[in-house]
């Protein structure tokens, strides 16, 4: 019998030094990419810039799912509820309260965080499917409330508003792109910093084993609320940028259509991978935008659905899961497991 407690001879694994080098490299690559991305709006035409702004908005939503589903392990269908609230809140804050976006967006984020908290609190006692359905229901409720509120334009929605940032109108897609890039970078820094701290480990614990999380003193409910509040703030900011981008806000911002496309992006891109989500946000937005050219405009959601199913079946960690040593280790493990079960032995 082998002595399993004592360490077997095995190849060395990358230590903290390698990790630090890798993260330094990633930071530098990120900085270069950011500079390139920031140059794009200045160098290209209006329609490309306009599309890019949309990609950034969708990517922000993808980040909120990265946080909720990828890091915290909570399957939520409430993205549109938070996004839509942010979209309407931005218009109200700008038109009725008269705040400039530089301050107004902070208020919008706070409103989104509050709604996220409510969503988290309502779903604290339920899990999995019920949680997903409850978050979905919150979107439906909000959509119908808005539809029946004249002050918010009813089913026609709101138009003719304009949102400024430091006094400059956001109807300029270049400005929108730069703000979107700034916000995206900020959120990515926040998420990756948080992930390496005790908060990230608490999320990990709640995701992997709630019972173990509590046994090490992690109040699972508190962290769930925190995750929902953050996701709420991120999604609401995405909604605010959306209203500036589209210049029309109507009840369709609460639609399941949006929730599903973001879900597709996050799952295909990789729930645990921010770069994966960014790349797939760009690819799928491009696909959706040119679906008419390919003659598949009617099948966009079908394609999204198929991508979700295929990804869950063959790439549970999405495209982002294809990179990184952990993913490689996981594949190696999977292969080892397969060959073991084929050999008829029991684990």
Q: Which residues sit at the interface with another protein, rule CB under 8 A?
A: 1-8, 12-16, 19, 189-190, 193-194, 196-202, 204-205, 208-209, 211-220, 226, 326, 329-330, 333
Closest contact distance (angstroms) between CB of 72 and another protein is 13
* Minimum CB–partner distance for residue 241 and another protein (Å): 20
CB of 175 to another protein, least distance (A): 25
Q: Are 80 and 233 within 8 A, CB to CB?
A: no
By beta-carbon proximity to another protein, the closer residue of 22 and 121 is 22
- To another protein, the closest distance from the beta carbon of 81 in angstroms equals 24
Is the CB of 97 or the CB of 329 nearer to another protein? 329
- As a whole number of angstroms, the longest Cα–Cα distance in the chain is 77
- How far is residue 141 CA from its own chain's centroid? 22
> CA distances (Å), 217 to each of 125, 195, 230, 274, in order?
19, 18, 22, 29
What are the helix (H) ranges across 3-153?
16-43, 46-65, 79-95, 101-122, 128-147
> Measured from the CB atom, is 168 or 338 closer to another protein?
338
CA–CA gap between residue 76 and residue 302 (Å, rounded): 20
Of residues 187 and 254, the one with the C-beta less far from another protein? 187
d(CA 121, CA 117): 6
Q: Whole-angstrom Cα distance, residue 225 to residue 233?
A: 12
CB of residue 3 to another protein, shortest distance in Å: 5
Q: How far apart are CA 48 and CA 100, in angstroms?
A: 26
Nearest residue (CB) to another protein, 155 versus 339:
339
């Amino acid at each position: 019998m082998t002595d399993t407690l004592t360490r077997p001879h095995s190849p060395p694994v990358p230590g903290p030094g390698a990790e630090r080098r890798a993260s330094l490299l990633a930071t530098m690559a990120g900085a270069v990419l950011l500079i390139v991305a920031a140059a794009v709006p200045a160098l290209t035409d209006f329609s490309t810039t306009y599309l890019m702004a949309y990609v950034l908005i969708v990517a922000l939503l993808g980040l909120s799912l990265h946080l909720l589903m990828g890091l915290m392990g909570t399957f939520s269908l409430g993205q549109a509820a938070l996004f839509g609230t942010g979209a309407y809140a931005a218009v109200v804050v700008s038109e009725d309260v008269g705040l400039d976006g530089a301050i107004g967006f902070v208020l919008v984020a706070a409103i989104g965080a509050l709604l996220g908290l409510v969503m988290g609190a309502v779903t604290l006692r339920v899990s999995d499917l019920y949680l997903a359905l409850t978050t979905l229901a919150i979107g439906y409720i909000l959509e119908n409330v808005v539809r029946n509120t004249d002050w918010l334009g009813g089913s026609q929605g709101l138009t003719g508003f304009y949102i400024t940032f430091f006094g400059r109108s956001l109807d300029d897609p270049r400005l929108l792109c730069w703000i979107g890039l700034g916000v995206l970078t900020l959120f990515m820094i926040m998420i990756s910093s948080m992930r390496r701290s005790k908060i990230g480990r608490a999320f990990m614990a709640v995701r992997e084993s709630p019972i173990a999380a509590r046994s090490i003193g992690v109040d699972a409910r508190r962290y769930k609320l925190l995750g929902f509040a953050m996701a709420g703030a991120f999604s609401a900011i995405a909604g605010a940028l959306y209203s500036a981008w589209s210049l029309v806000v109507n009840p369709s911002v609460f639609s399941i259509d949006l929730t599903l496309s973001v879900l597709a992006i996050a799952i295909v891109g990789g729930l645990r991978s921010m770069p994966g989500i960014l790349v797939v946000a760009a690819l799928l937005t491009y696909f959706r935008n040119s679906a008419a050219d390919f003659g598949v405009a009617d099948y966009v959601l079908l394609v999204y659905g198929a991508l979700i199913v295929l990804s869950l079946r063959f790439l549970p960690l999405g495209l982002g899961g294809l990179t990184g040593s952990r993913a490689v280790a996981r594949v190696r493990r999977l292969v080892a497991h397969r060959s073991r079960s084929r050999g008829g032995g029991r684990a």
